[in-house]
Amino acid sequence: MDCAMSDPLRIALVGATGLIGSEVMKLAVGRADVRLVAVARRESPLPQGARMEMFVSEPGKWGEVFEAVRPVALICALGTTWRKAGRDEEAFRAVDHDLVLDTARAAKAAGVERLVAVSSTGADAMSTNRYLRTKGEVERELGKLRFRRLDILRPGLLKGQRVADLRPIERLGSWLSPLADLAMQGRYRQYRSIRAEVVARAAIALAMRKAGGRFVHDNDALLRAAATLPELSSFTL
C-alpha cells in the first residue's frame, strides 16, 4: 500500500518550545505520514504551514491530553539549563528529572507504546557532574517503565541554539566546535557537535519504527537514523 494512503502516525511532542522540539514541529509540516500533537505549558507560535494541534495546560493535566489524543509515540524534548533554572538544583531537577519522568509515566498510563527521549552524551547516573548524573538517572528510570519501544537520544553539543541561551563554556564550545570535531576521534566522536535539525529528524524517524526494545543512540547513530526519515515529497498529497 502507498504510504500516502495510510493513516498518519499520531505522535505527541512535549518540549515544543525548545530547540529540538521546535525543529520537530518544522519537520512535521507537510507530512501526510505523521500527525503531530504538541502538549505544552504555554502557547508557542506554530511553524508556517503547520497543520497540527497544540494543547496548552499544566503538566498535571498532560495525562488527560494523552488519553484524549491517543498517540502511538511520544517525543520528549523537555529540558532546561543550569542558568535558566536560576542556578538552583531543585529547580533544575524539577524539569530535567521530575517533569520528564512524570510525563513519561502519564504517557505510559495512557497507552503510549513508544517513547523517544532526548538525553545527552555522557549521561551516567554515577557521574559527578550534576547535569550528566541527572540525565543518567532519568534514563535508568525510563527503562523501568517498560515502554514497548524506548529510544534514548544522546546528542553531543547542539548546533542551532541561540547564543544568548548558552552558558559561557557552551558558547565557547559552539564557536570552537568545527575545530574540536576534527580532533574528536574514536570513543570521543560521541562528543562532537550535531545540528538540532538532525536530532529532530532522527526523533521522528525513530518514533515511526515498530520494532520493540530499548535503544541508545549516540551522534553517529542519530545521523544514521535521521537519514532514514522518508523525504517529504514521498508523502505529500
User: Of these residues, 131, 144, 159, 210, which one is catalytic?
Assistant: 131
The Cα–Cα gap between 125 and 148 comes to 23
Whether 135 is catalytic is yes
Whether 131 is catalytic is yes
Residue 78's closest CA among 28, 35, 135? 135
Residue 24's closest CA among 230, 206, 201, 156? 201
Cell digits for 1? 500500500
Q: Which helix (H) or strand (E) holds 9?
A: strand 9-14
User: Of these residues, 26, 61, 84, 135, which one is catalytic?
Assistant: 135
Strand 34-40 to 114-118 pairing? unpaired
Using an 8 Å Cβ cutoff, are 124 and 132 in contact? yes
Residue numbers annotated as active site: 131, 135
